[in-house]
Every structure is written in structure tokens, then in C-alpha cells.
A = this chain, B = another copy of it.
Amino acid sequence: MECFAVPDLPEIRPGDDLADLIADRVALEDGDVLTVASTVVSKAEGRAANLSAFPASPRAREIASRLEDLTGEEKDPRFAQAVLEESTELLMDAPFLLTESRFGHVSVNAGIDRSNVPDHDLLLLPKHPESSAERIRDGLLERGIEDVAVIVTDTCGRPFRHGQRGVALGWAGMPASRDWRGEHDRDGRELGVTVQSVVDELASAANLVTGEGDDGNPAVVVRNWEFGDHDGSNELFREVEGDFVRQALRQWRFDDA
């Protein structure tokens, strides 16, 4: 398996055709997986925004004021408003905002980026990253590139472990997970690992060569990796019913005292 960055992508602007820009710069091959950072997908989709577009509701003002008290840092209530508008559930309101996005992804500040965005205050995540991945894949298909899977990626933190890692937000042309249920080890015992989140692992692999900042390469090709002869499944974001951590968070409130 090889991972390499798509070279020399320009700064992406609203309306840019990512499939075109990428296919012009790299000779994609059948079986490749193309990962594209959500930052550039968002830019192409016009998801840069200004705080002035999010007049703060009383609830956003209350959230920002509590965060300000707890952290001692100035918090713009319009930012809290933007986070609320991007989310279906606020899982933690302090000491930071953890929410479920409209497409099911749990992350801090609804994944809204305050760096990486020229001429605007904010960069929102793509509205529906699965559709974004499909659009890029369709763009490749129109150019005769047939068998390339596309993953829209982001980086985010997680409980229990420090640091951030690459994750998938949306994907097209492949299943999210490889399903080992019913398969066996060398001794014929059923495997302990049953569902492998390959889109997340591909996003993490890509993130190793993406870089950030000045010399960031937002698109990466994974070549010579095979899904193999396994069942696949398409669930990535947990429902609350099976997510006990989320159930615990619903009953918990940060208390500085």
C-alpha cells in the first residue's frame, strides 16, 4: 500500500471543481482511494462564513458566557450560535462544546475551523460529506476514471487518548467498514475483531502525509490497498442507543467547583 499527496493544488475557491483539479495533477488508477480534506471540500462548497452571519440567540449567549467564566478566555456568542446551528445535539456545553453534527459526526465545536480560511472568520464542515464524496466521485467518473473510492476526511480528538487523528466524514465507492464476523483465526476460533473501520484507517493513513499549515496537501491517493473478499457495512456514526458514552454524557455536567 502506498500513500502520496496530490501535488500543487491551488488555494481552493467557492465553485472550484475538485475532481477536475485533482485529476489534472495525478494519474488516478483503478482501485485507488482518494482522500480529500474537508477544509478544501468546504471551501469549494462555499462553507466559509463570517461571525456576523450568526446573530446570537439567548441560549448561545448563555453558553458563551458560561465558557468565558470557566476558561477565563473571551468567547464570542456568535461562535456558539454557529456551533448550535451546525448541530443536532449539544453533548457537552463545558469546558468546551461537544456536539453531534447534522450528519452524525461527534466533534468539538461542530468541527468549525477558525484557521485555514482566508478572508472569512469561520470554515464550516461540508453540509453532507457523503454527498460531497459522491459528487467528487461523479466528477471523476465523468472524466472516465471509474474505479476510485473517495473519502472526505477531517482530524479530530477523542476520549481516553491524547491528540487528534484523521477520520472519515463521508465516503463513496466503498463501504465504511470491513466485516470479519463469521471469519476465523488460525485455530478456527471466531475472530475477536469483528468490524474494522477502514475509512477511518484510510483517513488516518492519509493524514500522515497530508501535513497542516503552510505546506499542507489536502488530497492524498492511497494505492494498492484492497478491501478484499469480505462483507462490508456502511454505518460509521453510532446511534445513541448503543453509545453508552453518549448516554453517560447526557447525564453529566461539567462542574468547576
Q: Kindly identify which residue among B95, B160, B194 contacts A238, using a CB–CB cutoff of 8 Å.
A: B160
Q: Kindly identify which residue among B1, B95, B209 contacts A244, using a CB–CB cutoff of 8 Å.
A: B95
Q: State whether A189 touches B115 (Cβ < 8 A).
A: yes
Contacts of A198 in B (CB 8 A): 208
Is A158 an interface position by the 8 A CB rule? yes
Q: Tell me the number of copies of this protein.
A: 2
Contacts of A73 in B (CB 8 A): none
Q: Kindly identify which residue among B163, B213, B248 contacts A177, using a CB–CB cutoff of 8 Å.
A: B163
User: Which residues of chain A (221-253) have a CB below 8 Å from chain B?
Assistant: 225, 228, 233, 235-238, 243-249, 251-252
Chain B nearest CB from A88 CB (Å) reads 13
Q: State whether B248 touches A163 (Cβ < 8 A).
A: no
The interface bits of chain A over 194-218 (1 if a CB of B lies within 8 angstroms of the residue's CB, else 0) are: 1111101110110111011110100
In angstroms, Cα B211 to Cα A118, docked, is 42
Contacts of A205 in B (CB 8 A): 1, 3, 201, 204-205, 208
Is A65 an interface position by the 8 A CB rule? no
Interface centre among A202, A212, A237 (most CB of B within 10 A): A212
Q: State whether B164 touches A193 (Cβ < 8 A).
A: yes
A163-B195 CB under 8 A given contacts A201-B205, A245-B245: yes
Q: State whether A212 touches B191 (Cβ < 8 A).
A: yes
Q: Kindly identify which residue among B113, B166, B191, B244 contacts A192, using a CB–CB cutoff of 8 Å.
A: B113
Contacts of A59 in B (CB 8 A): none
- On A, residues with C-beta under 8 Å from B are 1-4, 11, 92, 95, 106, 113-118, 155, 158-167, 176-177, 180, 183-187, 189-198, 200-202, 204-205, 207-209, 211-214, 216, 225, 228, 233, 235-238, 243-249, 251-252, 254
Add 15 more A-B contacts to A114-B189, A116-B186, A158-B158 (CB < 8 A). A1-B209, A3-B3, A95-B244, A117-B187, A159-B245, A161-B200, A162-B176, A163-B236, A165-B196, A185-B216, A186-B216, A204-B205, A247-B252, A248-B252, A252-B252
